């Protein structure tokens, strides 16, 4: 690799960091997904003593704050590496700390936490394999992973692909939307189908307990009843909600 190539490769992570530190980039998702995910975790922790739960990639803390009333008595900690997001998260959460899934890793000891909320983060990662390795490191044996991510095979994406249109959630640029519906650039690098997500998480050493669907807040209002109906079949839903346990 030449010096110029090395410099360009080193610049890529910095460019992504600059993108996510931009206050104009959305850092919160829809409430319906947050509530469904919190209910899944609350059911998993039913009648358990106080547990430590990390919301990794907490953004502005909205999702964790939405989940908190359903998780009384448990210790919920927000984690993000964006300083701008953490400033906002600390207005909603009692604890929010800086950490990352690669590089220096999370600021928690091995097998020190009971559950991880990983809400619509994995689609933004350059190295999702390393991310799940780090999550596995901090989770206790039998610990819970609640992961959500957009569904590449959502019901409308199937129709869009047949029409030769770029699927919703996919992005070809960090500067603008090209070839698909929507206006916001949010930095998606990877997308999963239900089958791919199951296989990926299982390969990382987790046992998949449950997979559900959730609606997407960006679906046009006239189509929202259909989007909610699609949740009955996770493979068609807008958002994939996966509950897994560390093996």
Residue 18, pLDDT > 90, answer no
Confidence of residue 22 (pLDDT cuts 50, 70, 90): low
pLDDT digit string, tens, across residues 155-205: 999 999 999 999 999 999 999 999 999 988 989 999 999 999 999 999 999
Q: State mean pLDDT over 220-245.
A: 97
Q: State mean pLDDT over 29-39.
A: 84
Determine phi and psi for 92, rounding to 5 degrees: -115, -20
pLDDT at 47: 79
pLDDT at 104: 81
Q: State mean pLDDT over 127-140.
A: 97
Percent of the chain with pLDDT over 70: 88
The alpha carbon torsion through 192, 185, 68, 136 (nearest 10 deg) reads: 40
pLDDT at 80: 95
Tokens of 180: 């698909």
pLDDT digit string, tens, across residues 35-49: 999 999 999 998 789
Residue 101, pLDDT > 50, answer yes
- Beta carbons of 54 and 115 less than 8 angstroms apart: yes
Point out the least confidently predicted range of 45-49, 112-116, 143-147, 171-175.
45-49
- The rounded distance, in Å, linking the Cα atoms of 140 and 180 is 41
């Amino acid at each position: 690799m030449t010096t110029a190539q090395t410099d360009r490769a080193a610049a890529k992570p910095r460019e992504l960091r600059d993108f996510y530190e931009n206050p104009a980039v959305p850092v919160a998702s829809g409430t319906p997904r947050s509530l469904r995910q919190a209910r899944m975790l609350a059911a998993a922790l039913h009648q358990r003593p106080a547990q430590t739960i990390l919301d990794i990639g907490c953004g502005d803390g909205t999702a964790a704050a939405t989940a908190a009333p359903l998780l009384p008595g448990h210790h919920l900690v927000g984690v993000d590496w964006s300083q701008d997001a953490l400033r906002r998260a600390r207005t909603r959460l009692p604890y929010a700390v800086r950490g990352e899934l690669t590089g220096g890793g999370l600021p928690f000891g091995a097998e020190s936490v009971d559950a991880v909320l990983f809400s619509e983060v994995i689609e933004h990662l350059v190295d999702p394999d390393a991310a799940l390795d780090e999550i596995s490191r901090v989770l206790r044996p039998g610990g819970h992973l609640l992961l959500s991510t957009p569904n590449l095979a959502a019901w409308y994406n199937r129709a869009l692909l047949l029409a030769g249109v770029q699927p919703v959630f996919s992005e070809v640029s960090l500067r603008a939307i090209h070839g698909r519906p929507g206006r916001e650039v949010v930095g998606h690098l990877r997308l999963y189908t239900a089958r791919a997500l199951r296989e990926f998480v299982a390969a990382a050493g987790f046992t998949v307990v449950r997979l559900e669907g959730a609606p997407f807040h960006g679906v046009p209002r006239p189509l929202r009843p259909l989007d909610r109906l699609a949740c009955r079949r996770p493979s068609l839903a807008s958002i994939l909600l996966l509950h897994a346990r560390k093996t």
